[in-house]
Amino acid sequence: MKVAVVGATGLVGGEIMKVLTERNFPVTELIPVASERSVGKQIEFKGKQYTVVGFEDAIKMKPDVAIFSAGGGTSTKIAPLFAEAGITVVDNSSAWRMDPTKKLVVPEINAYTLTKEDKIIANPNCSTIQMVVVLNPLHLKYKIKRVVVSTYQSVTGTGKAAVDQLFAEREGRTDVPAVYPHKIDLNVLPHIDVFLDNGYTKEEMKMVNETKKIMMDDAIAVTATTVRIPTIGGHSEAVNIEFENEFDLQEVFDILSNTEGVIVQDDPKNFVYPMPINAHGKDEVFVGRIRRDETQPKTLNMWIVADNLRKGAATNAVQIAEYLSKNNLL
């Protein structure tokens, strides 16, 4: 199978190629694609060197699937050109997520809705993916009424330049351009993406709107506060869930322990709980600190952690491509 990785020289692009290798995706030919300034560079994949090509050349090479991680502006312009050539696009940017004509997919939840006609498939926001993987099985059992989520998001979510800023500040260097409006090392920024007219950030509204679309239930009320913290390795979330129906706490543990892609880490007496330092490089979503909210009925608190470059981006996109391949939808 011919696979194009668009944005191959970026953080997520590199992670996509790593995931393709680890999961033994049936790549017969890799087509690394990037902007003009990166064309001609060499990229190694499975011990072989490949030359980075531009968008037009990539389309002419007729890949079966193109996994995009090149930003919303690029995707808006280029993804339709791939689709028009009959190439299925799995897009990591925010460009197509809320387009009513495009599917927004987390494979464990709604891959079954995909058809051969879906030529541009949207990969959700990283913080949304890890939350809904945990929420969906509980919603099916108890019906979720309202979700309150506060995130603690890694600088890797902004990209390599943000990682460079963090380590430059840590080392006392001033030779690296700042990505954030404030210092990030030893600090916390309650600000991810741009602020909107309603006082929320775009990242916060992504979590609100994408959750409803993925879980196919507009009745779920979601409110979010998204925060950038000086970590690498993964995003963390404190999530408060109010259900329509009463739940049994042990049953919640049982449901999550038997959910594909979820690992329960909840033994506080022995200091066992999810942390980004342990989620780094892993594909699963980790959940712990599972406990009743004692201030109101039918409400649950939990802590959810996942590597935002893996399940939050690269792994989820590759899993979509795997589903398309296995079900002859390419």
Three-state SS for 42?
strand
Q: What's this model's pTM, rounded to 2 decimal places?
A: 0.96
Known binding residue 256? Answer is no
Known binding residue 11? Answer is yes
Known binding residue 97? Answer is yes
Neighbours of 251 (CB within 10 A): 12
* Structure confidence at residue 266 (pLDDT): 98
Q: Which amino acid is at 187?
A: N
- Give the separation between CA 310 and CA 15, rounded to whole angstroms: 7
Predicted confidence (pLDDT) per residue in 207-222, tens digit: 999 999 999 999 999 9
Tokens of 187: 């600090």
CB 234 within 8 A of CB 306: yes
- Give the separation between CA 70 and CA 119, rounded to whole angstroms: 17
CB 252 within 8 A of CB 268: no
Contacts of 90 (CB under 8 A, 6+ apart): 65, 66, 67, 68, 121, 123, 317, 320, 321
Low-confidence residues of the chain, pLDDT below 50?
none
**Domain 127-308 class in CATH:** alpha beta
* Structure confidence at residue 233 (pLDDT): 87
- Give the separation between CA 321 and CA 107, rounded to whole angstroms: 10
The residue extents of the domains of the chain are 2-124+313-326, 127-308
Q: Which amino acid is at 108?
A: E
- CB-based burial of residue 241 (10 Å sphere; 0-12 exposed, 13-18 middle, 19+ buried)? buried
Known binding residue 10? Answer is yes
Tokens of 207: 């979590």
Residue 44 forms beta bridges with which residues? Answer: 49
Q: How far apart are the first and last CA of the chain?
A: 10
Residue 240 forms beta bridges with which residues? Answer: 148, 301
Known binding residue 12? Answer is yes
Predicted confidence (pLDDT) per residue in 57-107, tens digit: 999 999 999 999 998 999 999 999 999 999 999 999 999 999 999 999 999
Give me the sign of the Cα torsion angle 182, 162, 66, 19. Answer: negative
* Structure confidence at residue 295 (pLDDT): 98
Neighbours of 222 (CB within 10 A): 21
Superfamily of domain 2-124+313-326: NAD(P)-binding Rossmann-like Domain (3.40.50.720)
Dihedral pair phi/psi, residue 158, rounded to 5°: -90, -25
**What kind and span of H or E run contains 32?**
strand 29-33
* Structure confidence at residue 103 (pLDDT): 98
Known binding residue 37? Answer is yes
The radius of gyration of the chain's CA atoms, rounded to the nearest angstrom, is 20
Three-state SS for 113?
helix
Q: Which residues are catalytic?
A: 126, 235
Rounded alpha-carbon distances, angstroms, from residue 224 to 40, 64, 145, 207, 229: 42, 37, 15, 7, 16
- Provide the H-helix boundaries in the chain: 11-22, 55-60, 72-84, 107-110, 126-142, 160-170, 202-214, 249-257, 276-279, 315-326
Rounded alpha-carbon distances, angstroms, from residue 330 to 268, 309, 321, 327: 46, 25, 9, 8
Tokens of 171: 């080392």
- Give the separation between CA 37 and CA 214, rounded to whole angstroms: 36
